[in-house]
Amino acid sequence: MDKINIALLGLGNVGGGVFEILKTNIEEIQERSGCDIQISKILVRNPNKKRCVDVPEELITTNPDDIFNDESIKIVVEVMGGIDPAKEYMIKAMKKKKHVVTANKLVIATTGAELIRTAKEEGVRFCYEASVAGGIPIINGINESLTANKIEEIIGIINGTTNYILTKMYLDNMDFGTALKEAQDKGYAEADPTSDVEGFDAVYKLSILTYLAFGKLVNPDLVYREGISKIDAMDIEYAKEFGYVIKLLAIVKDDNGVLELRVHPTMIPERHPLANVNDSFNAILIKGNAVGELMMYGRGAGDLPTGSAVVADVISIVRNVNDPIFKLSESKSGNLKRIRKMEETTSEYYIRITVKDEPGVLGRISSILGAHNVSLLSVIQKGKRQEYVTLVFVTHKTLEGNINKSIEEINSLSFVDKVENIIRVEKME
């Protein structure tokens, strides 16, 4: 049996997962790959750091050239995270004619085109299945199984941290802070959770999915983004009252060549399959013009699920080492005219406002909404004989621009204390 040497750049959670999988499942991996895949070097910053896996000391190095200059190493697995020096190291590995596997969503979302181009130029394979949705094989699904389809839209729960928090708020009546703390205690959220809870992580992944499905290179900064930090217990309760569940959704749609991209909290019907994706699980709903709708579901994060996707890419390279994988090309994007501005998108909306309890308040706000072509589906007022009460409106489908103009005018009213929250409502029909 041939021996294939690989190297890891990084030994954090994902790197530890890759090491553990290759050690634990060695017989299955040998049988399926036809090779003896061995880790020969692991690059770390601090060789004395305590780690979650027991690694032989001779595998550890702090010098990247020990990997790049070793001709016996055929595959480099980047699991460091961040842009620098991860991108530099991957390009250097490619120029040394080494195949590269990565789980780095930030690098792929921001510099993926350059990395793919370099891999093509150097004649090596570049795989990144683990960069989106952990163990869910979404990238190979789009690149292989759905190639006969024109993909029309992708809607997904692609951040496990926010899904865990929203699940705890919905099922266990936790407030946001308590749910976040529990997510951190379980290792689902970082000490600084900004990337997850404010939607940045989901934006990076959506950028990658957009590139895969539509061949459109979209700067993540151009994707509309809202996080979940403004969602509180009152919004969760109103969602339940209306028969909805709140999820952080990543959405991309192709509407006759106009691409719509957005990441934001969304109320969806409680009976919809995505509404029942709980805890740290991810799910991605894809609509193709031939296959219709299909959904992929599984663990979206964690050392072993993500490590599983990384090792699968390594096995894919070993099996097809003479068949470079360059599935992405900008030719797909020829029919895409532009990215739709957010004010041009349409949705139903949940609007929660705190107002003074005075006669005529509800009528005045309803009149402003109507003047901007916002039709109301339902109105709820909570609180009586108090200085301030809560008004909740759910609209029919309307332009985001109409909502923005309405809210600007409503905010100027003397009896309005605060527009507490605005959440889009998707019927998911």
Residue 97 marked as a ligand binder: no
Q: Is 311 exposed, middle or buried (0-12, 13-18, 19+ CB in 10 A)?
A: buried
- Comparing CA positions, the residue from 142, 111, 140 lying closest to residue 127 is 140
**Share of the chain residues as helix, strand and coil, in percent rounded to the nearest 5:** 40, 30, 30
11 annotated binding-site participant: yes
9 in a known ligand binding site: yes
Burial classification of residue 321, based on how many CB atoms lie within 10 Å of its CB (0-12 exposed, 13-18 middle, 19 or more buried): middle
For residue 166 the two structure tokens come to 């929203």
394 carries a ligand binding annotation:
no
What CA–CA distance (Å, rounded) separates 209 from 263? 13
State yes or no: is 205 an active-site residue: yes
Q: Is 105 annotated as a binding residue?
A: yes
With contact defined as beta carbons under 8 Å apart, do 79 and 43 qualify? no
Q: Which residue in 205, 216, 247, 405 is the catalytic one?
A: 205
Q: What are phi and psi of 73, to 5 degrees?
A: -85, 120
| 10 is known to lie in a ligand binding site | yes
d(Cα 317, Cα 296) in Å, to the nearest integer?
23
In terms of Cα–Cα distance, which of 349, 328, 372, 330 is closest to 423?
A: 349
In eight-state DSSP terms, residue 267 is E
Both tokens of 198, joined, read 């404010």
Residue whose entry in the numeric block shows the structure tokens 């009896």: 415
76 annotated ligand-binding residue: no
Rounded-to-integer distance, Cα 379 and Cα 395, Å: 9
Q: Which residues 6+ apart lie within 8 Å of 361 measured at CB?
A: 355, 391, 415
Q: At 143, which amino acid appears?
A: N
Is 399 flagged in the annotation as binding?
A: no
Residue 172 has which token pair?
Answer: 């266990």
Residue 2: DSSP 8-state: E
What beta strand segments (E) does 199-358 contain?
224-225, 244-255, 258-269, 281-288, 292-299, 338-339, 346-356
SS3 38: strand
Binding-site residue positions = 9-16, 105, 190
Binding-site residue positions for L-homoserine = 190
- Which residues are catalytic, by number? 205
Binding-site residue positions for NADPH = 105
Binding-site residue positions for NADP(+) = 9-16
